[in-house]
Amino acid sequence: MKIDLSEQKILVTGASRGIGKAIAEQLAEAGAQVAVHYHRNSNTAKRVAEDIGRGAETFQADLCKPIEVIQLFDNVLARFGRLHAIVNNAGIAISSEVEGDDIAFTDTWSKTMLVNLHATGLLCKKSIEHFVECGGGRIINIASRAAFRGDTADFLAYAASKGGVVSLTRSIARAYGRQGIKAFIIAPGFTHTDMAEDFIKKYGESYIKSDLALTSMTKPEDIAPTVAFLASGLADHATGCTIDINAGSYVH
């Protein structure tokens, strides 16, 4: 079965590297025009857009700043005219010891929530408003197995933020299904990306693999095809669902 997204325009946050980059590539391969969001590295994002083609364009925004989140969505609409789906992929995972300084812990907690949950919530709000006007659309939010099974002690904020993403997505699916809006959750496990390097260095790859049912760590390209499938409309009656992609390390 071939996925055809040739009529779709899709925003992917954090699309310049890692899981987001693989998702952008997969969507474009299926025919979609992709809005490639990035935070800092414009050259990397431009290369991604050029490589995937099909009219892909880059859009910069610091997701810690709500005004930039709003401008991101508005700028994409101004350029594309219409969105059919959004993939809220961008996220951060910052190690923060509970036994450490209270202010430092609060700062880390707040930044994690701003990027992982607040920005996702605001982009969902903007998407809902747009999709209601246009007759529907799809929201695909990248959460984590940590939302269900928890995480290590130094990543409490990350797990909590992803738990919020799960509840947010399920609520959207229940509240807006009759208005043509479908919402899905993908919950990856530990994925081999640049963002994961600090964790790998701290705990070691053998520690991570010991938790898996498979023999290798999940890669971004293991996640991307599922996003394209959900964007296609072939799984609309699974709205509100969570799809685990974690090499069998957590099945809920």
69 belongs to a structural domain: yes
Q: How many CB atoms lie within 10 A of CB 188?
A: 23
3-state secondary structure 64-122: CCHHHHHHHHHHHHHHHCCCCEEEECCCCCCCCCCCCCHHHHHHHHHHHHHHHHHHHHH
Mean pLDDT of the chain: 95
1 belongs to a structural domain: no
Output the pLDDT for position 187: 97
Lowest mean pLDDT of 4-13, 22-31, 165-174, 209-218, name the range: 209-218
Pick the more confident residue, 200 or 220: 220
How would residue 194 be classed by pLDDT, with cut points 50, 70 and 90?
A: confident
Domain that holds residue 69: 9-245
252 belongs to a structural domain: no
Specify the CATH number for the domain of residue 63. Answer: 3.40.50.720
pTM of the model: 0.95
251 belongs to a structural domain: no
pLDDT digits (tens, 9 = 90+) for 1-46: 789 999 999 999 999 999 999 999 999 999 999 999 999 999 999 9
With a pLDDT cut of 90, the percent of the chain lying above it is 85
Is 158 annotated in the active site?
Answer: yes
**Cβ atoms of 199 and 93 closer than 8 Å:** yes
Buried/exposed code over 48-87 (b: 16+ C-beta within 10 A; e: otherwise): bbeebeeebebbbbebbeeeebbebbebbbeebeebbbbb
For 115, half-sphere exposure in the C-beta direction (CA atoms, 13 angstrom radius) is 19
User: What average pLDDT does range 78-84 have in this prediction?
Assistant: 98
Q: Which of 158, 203, 207, 250 is catalytic?
A: 158
Q: How many CB atoms lie within 10 A of CB 217?
A: 20
Q: Is 80 exceeded by the pLDDT of residue 197?
A: no
164 belongs to a structural domain: yes
C-alpha span between 104 and 100 (Å, rounded): 7
Provide the number of structural domains found in the chain. 1
How would residue 108 be classed by pLDDT, with cut points 50, 70 and 90?
A: very high
Q: Is 80 exceeded by the pLDDT of residue 199?
A: no
4 belongs to a structural domain: no
Q: Is 90 exceeded by the pLDDT of residue 209?
A: no
Pick the more confident residue, 100 or 115: 115
User: What average pLDDT does range 94-112 have in this prediction?
Assistant: 95
187 belongs to a structural domain: yes
48 belongs to a structural domain: yes
pLDDT digits (tens, 9 = 90+) for 134-156: 999 999 999 999 999 999 899 99
Q: Is 90 exceeded by the pLDDT of residue 73?
A: yes
**Cβ atoms of 227 and 19 closer than 8 Å:** no
